[in-house]
């Protein structure tokens, strides 16, 4: 059994950079303490540096992607393939929670998946309500609703003040990807 007690629900939201980075930092810290950490990424199927980095920590940290290799863009109605991938990610989160497979579970971009209507706000709230004791649950993404914020124990909003992409700088390997 881990030493985190009952476990809490974290939300990292907002329009600023750093939501996934904060969640992965927590996952890395947990792995350093020998905790089993699972990361389920919604809307992400592209290669990111963290995928290579966690190979060295595979006994403690695992990342699974449930997104397209291409950037998911908002459409109304949402693209059916994006919905299927998000639903598979939601199923995996439920499966990991029910199995007690990890001490820390990161549902990366689950909030954005709800914002893009790939899954419902109700489903996200159900995940939060079903969190078993002893599990630390971290949700990330833009657009956390008031109900999600109310259901969480810790909420951090990343607010963009200044970013070099406004000057045309693209995502750089090792920094943004």
Q: Quick one: pLDDT at residue 72?
A: 62
Rounded CA separation 141/119 (Å): 13
Q: Quick one: pLDDT at residue 2?
A: 59
42 beta partners:
66
Written out in words, the top-level CATH class of the domain with range 9-164 is: alpha beta
Q: DSSP letter for 39, please.
A: E
Q: DSSP letter for 15, please.
A: S
Q: Quick one: pLDDT at residue 71?
A: 60
What the block records as the tokens of 119 is 């899954």
Instruction: Check whether 1 has a pLDDT greater than 50.
Output: no
Q: Quick one: pLDDT at residue 110?
A: 98
pLDDT tens digits along 95-141: 999 999 999 999 999 999 999 999 999 999 999 999 999 999 999 99
Cis bond leading into 120, ω under 30°? Answer: no
pLDDT mean over 140-164: 96
Q: Name, in order, each residue with C-beta under 8 angstroms of 54's C-beta and a sequence gap of 6 or more.
A: 39, 61, 62, 63
Q: Quick one: pLDDT at residue 53?
A: 76
Rounded CA separation 112/153 (Å): 19
pLDDT tens digits along 27-82: 989 988 999 999 999 988 777 777 777 777 777 777 878 877 666 667 778 889 89
- For residue 106, count other CB atoms closer than 10 A to its CB: 29
Q: Quick one: pLDDT at residue 42?
A: 93
What the block records as the tokens of 38 is 């699972």
């Amino acid at each position: 059994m881990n030493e985190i007690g009952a476990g809490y629900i974290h939300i990292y939201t907002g329009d600023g950079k750093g939501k996934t980075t904060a969640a992965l930092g927590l996952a890395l810290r947990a792995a350093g303490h020998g905790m089993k950490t699972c990361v389920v990424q919604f809307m992400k199927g592209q290669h990111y540096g963290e995928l290579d980095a966690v190979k060295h920590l595979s006994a403690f940290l695992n990342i699974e992607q449930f997104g397209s290799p291409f950037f998911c863009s908002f459409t109304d109605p949402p693209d059916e393939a994006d919905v299927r991938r998000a639903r598979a990610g939601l199923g995996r989160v439920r499966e990991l929670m029910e199995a007690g497979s990890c001490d820390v579970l990161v549902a990366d971009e689950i909030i954005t998946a709800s914002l893009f209507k790939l899954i419902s706000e109700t489903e996200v709230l159900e995940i939060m309500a079903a969190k078993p004791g002893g599990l630390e649950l971290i949700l990330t993404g833009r657009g956390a609703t008031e109900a999600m914020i109310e259901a969480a124990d810790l909420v951090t909003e990343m607010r963009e003040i200044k970013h070099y992409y406004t000057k045309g700088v693209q995502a750089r390997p090792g920094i943004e990807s």
